[in-house]
Amino acid sequence: MDGTLYKGEDPIPGAREFVAELRKRGIPFRFLTNNSSHTCSFFADRLRRMGFGIEDRDVLSSTVATARFILKERKGAKVHVIATPDVAAELRSLGVEHYDGPRPDVVLLTYDTTIDYAKINAGYHHLLEGAELIATHPDDVCPTEDSYDVDIGPFIRLYESLAKVEPTVVGKPSRRMLEMCAAELSVEPEDIVMVGDRLSTDIRMGNLAGTRTILVMSGETDAALLAKSDVEPTFKAGSVADIFPEIIDRGLIS
């Protein structure tokens, strides 16, 4: 969302009109975010404050996607959760309870901005004892209004190195998150068009899932980064404001 719909607290020009046009034309959509430091309702509220007329259900976060994955693919697992208090509460509401006893089956690593030595060390010892490492997403950094903050990626590599584990990652660029989105929208993954500003997550996920992609140049990616990347979008646009006039209305996507 950051870099595609808004920058910091400011909507990208034309982004609100783009979302309104999706609704007007009856085109279903979801906003996907890898950021697992806050709840879905937090991100929905943020968009509403910026003037986007959306509902909570329009947002699918890596936290929700990971909870669904665990409940379906790791039924009955005892899950040791590393998360902010709000995200831990959201996970509980979704059916993933924090297990603080011995020998959990899973260590669930989110983008925990309250992480400390005790949390890191507890997770490490659980992994040494055989727990599976599941991470919400792999991003190294998270965009802020004027820079980047350390994200979950370095902590994944810390555990990989120390505990010799192979993580299961649910969020972008894994196709799992896009497949969940397709199921919510009652369409096949190949009928989705993935729009985003990050080659390594947004566009790569679309490519892995076999969907068409639109790279918007309003966020992280510039011409130099695109030129040296091995990730190729299907289409490119200056921003979401250009998608209808330059791509959809010209019949390039039907």
Is the pLDDT score of 217 beyond 90? yes
| Domains delineated in the chain | 6-34+172-248 (3.40.50.1000), 75-169 (3.40.50.1000)
Q: What is the mean pLDDT of residues 14-40?
A: 96
The per-type count for the chain, helices as H runs and strands as E runs, is 10, 13
Per-residue pLDDT, 147: 84
Is the pLDDT score of 146 beyond 80? no
Q: Write down the mean pLDDT value for the chain.
A: 95
Which residues lie closer than 8 Å to 6 by C-beta, 6 or more apart?
A: 12, 15, 47, 50
Structure confidence by residue, pLDDT tens digits, 159-209: 999 999 999 999 999 999 999 999 999 999 999 999 999 999 999 999 999
Give this prediction's pTM: 0.92
Pairing of strands 132-135, 106-109: parallel
Q: Which helix (DSSP H) or strand (DSSP E) does residue 85 occupy?
A: helix 85-94
Which residues lie closer than 8 Å to 242 by C-beta, 6 or more apart?
A: 14
